[in-house]
Amino acid sequence: MAILRWLGAAALATLFSTAVQGAVNLSFVEPSRYTDAWDWNQDGLDTLRELRNHLQGLGERYLLPGYTLDLSILDVKLAGNSRLAFGVNPEIRVASGDADWPRIELAYTLWSGKTAIGSGHETIVDRTYLRRLDPNYNPASPLAYEKRMLDDWFRTRFVYLRSPPSH
């Protein structure tokens, strides 16, 4: 009886593993040269980890099974500007909306199986990041503006794959 349950669980796991959503393969190209991924009080690895998790989540949510997105992050400029401060927190990030918008430069190739179906090199910018209200993002959460910007970019580039646009 236990063997049958184990075989049933193994078959179920195999079934679900074959229906995996699309994947994002992400690389950070020379992150030590990024404009603004590191700051005084936060390890830049946390920033890169947040970006990795968010982009891979977008791939799972929006790409079709069998699709893979190879994505290289070439530069990161976080929203706002870092300012040194005194006290417990040696740095604060000030967002003024004056040319301090988030910006991410990237290159990508979208694959369907082993066939490349699209590629590009883009700099994603959200110049209106402080003027757009979005209840899904709390400005105090890590990389809220950058995540919203990446969501918009991802949906613009890849969601049409879910359901082809009608003409």
**Is 9 inside any structural domain?**
no
Check: pTM over 0.75? Answer yes or no: no
**Is 46 inside any structural domain?**
yes
**Is 6 inside any structural domain?**
no
Tell me the pairing of strands 103-112 and 115-125.
Answer: antiparallel
Q: Does the structure show a pLDDT above 60 at 147? A: yes
pLDDT tens for each residue of 59-77: 999 999 999 999 999 999 9
Say which residues have a Cβ less than 8 Å from residue 114's Cβ, sequence separation at least 6: none
Across all residues in the chain, what is the average pLDDT? Answer: 76
Cα dihedral sign for 144, 150, 155, 158? Answer: negative
Q: 142: pLDDT confidence band, cut at 50, 70 and 90?
A: confident
Distance of CA 165 to CAs 21, 64, 125, 156, 159, Å? 20, 15, 25, 12, 10
The domain tally of the chain equals: 1
Range of the domain at 33: 21-161
**Is 115 inside any structural domain?**
yes
The helix or strand, by DSSP H or E, that contains position 153, with its residue range, turns out to be: helix 144-158
pLDDT tens for each residue of 38-62: 755 556 788 899 999 999 999 999 9
Q: When comparing pLDDT for 129 and 150, which is higher?
A: 150
What confidence score (pLDDT) does residue 44 get?
75
DSSP state of 35: S
Average pLDDT over residues 155-160: 84
Q: What is the C-alpha to C-alpha distance for residues 21 and 31, in angstroms, rounded to an integer?
A: 28
